[in-house]
Structure 1
């Protein structure tokens, strides 16, 4: 289904994890920073966790204009409680509603309308999602060019990832649009690369290291990819953005080094 709406001016990327606590929002924000490329590419980060989204808290953002201001008149009422904030010039964020009950008034059809509009305004649209395949999330998958499935080296997270892959297959979402990313890959959780392969049975596009600096960056409200672009985590995210989102192929990487295998 991905790409079934035809090529639009911008590229849409949905980040999903079927288990909470995998670092999905942190990864999505750092991916947006990498794609933004210091202002060279207009990028929009969307908080699709309409009930409990914490993108605003993660980036210490205050909304300064209503999302409805960018929409046709026929759609403005539905999105009147949802706001856009600018994190950096050329990097905007669509924030989750803050008023209780506002999320229930946003149907999946309006998510589709939003994801038709945003790629006409931005070169990259990164969608942060809740940890369930709701109708809103499935709409995001349908309108995305890339599906990034995040997991951690823990059996419950891997089991949920396997279930997600099976569900996406059942719903006929194309496998070529998927990228599997393992977060906290060096956390010494007792799960080997062979264990991961045995459950996932798909190539791993990126292994991201665990680091205390990441938690510190979240508490500061500044993504690590921005504050420390040379950090191994930042480099891994940027490598993923360059090789996968910007037109590269899914390449299995080495869990220990995070590097791609040599050609041949």
Structure 2
């Protein structure tokens, strides 16, 4: 099950629930302590992972600058904020201007080291392409693209797919997820296919329980693993893991 070590979650439009998907996916992969998981908040300017998990940030990625020349599993461990046993977070900076201090090369180096300590690394990204996001997409064994069933979000997804197709990424190592999907708001299937021209790997239903879980600081997948949203995310993870839809083999060791 560890063929996909690094999973990068991206949405080309804000408000699609990307961080919700990332935090719940991390909870599913953690599997109640069955695997070691690291959630990386790469939204360096406006990261929400700490808030969604009810964490008080005392360390962040900016602290990696002090050990940038000696990144090892041991030094990276000092940067982590623990959420649950076996579930750690590398949080975004909290002070104004700190995001600009972090080079994309540091992101690449961190993502090369983290799989040595964790079974899975889930990277939450900002909703625009930056050198840091490209570094996370480059490092990913699997890419998850999140959208909602509205025309503006789908248009941005189509532009994202066109952009990714210009880069040396394996299309098979990619999943499209439609968040807040329900029969009352979805576009007709034919129009949806016309807009994105790519298969949809998963649909996450819209439930009031999701914002309630965010306000509690607890992913729904951890609090209610049998919830419909939790089950949908578990099915998504099981599909790309069991199908081997990853861009490369896991590192040795």
Alpha carbons of structure 1 residues 89 and 69: separation in structure 2 relative to 1, 3 Å: farther
Distance (whole Å) between structure 1 residues aligned to residue 150 and residue 10 of structure 2: 16
What is the match of residue 128 of structure 1? 124
What is the match of residue 44 of structure 1? 38
Q: Is 1:148 the counterpart of 2:151 in the alignment?
A: no
Alpha carbons of structure 1 residues 99 and 177: separation in structure 2 relative to 1, 3 Å: same
What is the match of residue 207 of structure 2? 211
Aligned 1:173-192 pairs, distance under 5 A: 173-186=169-182, 188-192=184-188
Aligned 1:45-194 pairs, distance under 5 A: 45-65=39-59, 68=63, 72=67, 74=69, 83-186=79-182, 188-194=184-190
Q: Which moved more, 1:149-158 or 1:82-91?
A: 82-91
Q: Deviations over 1:8-55 (max 9, x none)?
A: 987000000000000000010000000000001000000000010011
Give 5+ residue unaligned stretches, structure 1: 1-7, 251-264
Larger proportion of helix: 2
Q: 1:20 aligns with which of 14, 21, 27?
A: 14
Question: Please, what is the CA RMSD of the aligned residues?
Answer: 2.4
Q: 1:33 aligns with which of 18, 27, 33?
A: 27
Instruction: Between the two structures, name the one with larger relative contact order (CA 8 Å, sep ≥ 6).
Output: 2
Q: Is the 8 A contact 1:63 1:83 kept in 2?
A: no
Distance (whole Å) between structure 1 residues aligned to residue 66 and residue 233 of structure 2: 32
Q: Is the 8 A contact 2:148 2:179 kept in 1?
A: yes
SS at match of 2:33: coil
Q: Is the 8 A contact 1:112 1:143 kept in 2?
A: yes
Q: How does the TM-score come out when normalised to structure 1?
A: 0.84
Aligned residues: 239
Q: 2:243 aligns with which of 248, 252, 262?
A: 248
Distance (whole Å) between structure 1 residues aligned to residue 210 and residue 89 of structure 2: 20
Give 5+ residue unaligned stretches, structure 2: 246-253
Distance (whole Å) between structure 2 residues aligned to residue 43 and residue 230 of structure 1: 20
Q: Is the 8 A contact 1:75 1:110 kept in 2?
A: no
Alpha carbons of structure 1 residues 93 and 70: separation in structure 2 relative to 1, 3 Å: farther
Deviation at 1:64, TM superposition (A): 4.9
SS at match of 1:183: strand
Deviation at 1:74, TM superposition (A): 1.6
What is the match of residue 253 of structure 1? none
